[in-house]
């Protein structure tokens, strides 16, 4: 897959099939759009294109909301590449671009630069200044400019429409099992391993502490997780929080990695959240903490082994 900024160079596509969106999280609804785009492009002898925006439009339009994104731009690129799309093209989202009339967006960017034979959009697709353009206008413009249009119905699971907003809410509440169902993969964070306080090693459970690049942390607590190190997957148990037993203040993500004794300081690792085990607890003494850590490890191991026998989104992280 080739990644291009739309103004980087002339995009002289003979023809293309395009889907458009912010695509934060690359959840099952997004994947449905991309699969249809890829299949349509193959049938129409065209290239498949995902058109997105960077930074996320809400960051520009509503900075006061302090939105926590599900994926970094780099992770978004990685996940889109996994779908088999030919081109990921992004538009630098600025206040000036946000004020573009919807007709100008379709005529001057979509039609002129990407030469679509077909567009694939979601049922709630909006475009142009203040999303003033909707499906009826897009149908009119596509007819006038001679490209096809397919409007895709949402993916619904247990009566809920899959959306990035819903997934953010679930992850922030610690409901990672539910979030993973809508994502079609395990929610993950990745970052550089840094030295912690060394308490885990003193207790016999050394942890890998990361400074995550993602901004969306699961709710404080203890989770059954997988950790990916240099392409290898390990079982792990992860604490998200500030270690109240030791009256720490800074929130951390620290993982005890099963059957691993290598040095990972300074390396990038990725932590995949499988299931929440419990709240973070302030223990009265070190002995209570040590006993509970042992129970957390046993429970996490049981859960992760059970999931391996009955897969749940494992393929997407290369475990199977």
Q: What is the pLDDT of residues 169-195, one digit of tens each?
A: 999 999 999 999 999 999 999 999 987
Find out whether 123 and 30 touch, Cβ atoms under 8 Å.
Answer: no
Q: How far apart are CA 178 and CA 91, in angstroms?
A: 32
Q: Mean pLDDT throughout 280-305?
A: 86
105 touches 134 (CB < 8 A): no
Could you write out the DSSP letters of every residue in 129-163? GGG-B-HHHHHHHHHHHT-EEEEEPPPEETTEE--
Residue ranges and CATH numbers for the domains of the chain are: 2-160 (3.40.50.620), 186-317 (2.40.30.30)
- Per-residue pLDDT reduced to its tens digit, 183-230: 999 999 999 998 766 555 555 577 889 988 777 889 999 999 999 999
Q: How confident is the model at residue 156 (pLDDT cuts 50, 70, 90)?
A: very high
Judging by DSSP bridges, how do beta strands 221-229 and 268-278 pair with one another? antiparallel
Name the DSSP class of 315: G
pLDDT value at residue 261 = 84
Q: Comparing 122 with 252, which gets the higher pLDDT?
A: 122
Confidence of residue 248 (pLDDT cuts 50, 70, 90): low
Q: Tokens at residue 43, please?
A: 């049938």
pLDDT for 246 beyond 80: no
């Amino acid at each position: 897959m080739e990644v291009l900024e739309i103004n980087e160079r002339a995009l002289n596509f003979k023809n293309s099939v395009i889907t458009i969106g912010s695509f934060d999280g690359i959840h099952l609804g997004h994947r449905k759009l991309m699969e249809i785009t890829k299949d349509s492009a193959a049938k129409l002898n065209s290239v498949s294109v995902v058109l997105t925006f960077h930074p996320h439009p809400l960051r520009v339009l509503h900075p006061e909301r302090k939105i926590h994104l599900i994926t970094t731009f780099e992770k978004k690129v990685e996940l889109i590449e996994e779908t088999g799309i030919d081109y990921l093209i992004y538009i630098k989202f600025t206040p000036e671009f946000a004020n573009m009339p919807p007709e100008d967006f379709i005529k001057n960017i979509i039609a002129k630069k990407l030469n679509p034979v077909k567009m694939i959009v979601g049922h709630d697709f909006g475009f142009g200044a203040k999303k003033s353009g909707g499906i009826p206008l897009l149908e009119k413009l596509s007819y006038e400019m001679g490209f096809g249009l397919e409007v895709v119905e949402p993916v619904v699971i247990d009566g809920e429409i899959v959306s990035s907003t819903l997934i953010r809410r679930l992850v922030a509440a610690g409901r990672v099992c539910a979030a993973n169902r809508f994502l079609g993969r395990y929610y993950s964070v990745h970052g550089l391993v840094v030295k912690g306080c060394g308490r885990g090693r003193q207790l016999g459970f050394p942890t890998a502490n990361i400074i995550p690049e993602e901004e969306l942390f699961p709710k404080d607590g203890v989770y059954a997780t997988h950790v990916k190190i240099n392409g290898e997957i390990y079982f792990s148990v992860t604490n998200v929080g500030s270690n109240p037993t030791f009256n720490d203040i800074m929130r951390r993500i620290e993982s005890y990695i099963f059957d691993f004794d290598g040095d990972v300081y300074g390396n990038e690792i990725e932590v995949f959240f499988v299931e929440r085990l419990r709240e973070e607890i302030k223990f009265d003494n070190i002995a209570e903490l040590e006993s509970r850590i042992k129970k957390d490890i046993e429970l996490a191991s049981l859960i992760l082994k059970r999931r391996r026998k009955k897969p749940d989104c494992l393929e997407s992280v290369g475990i199977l």
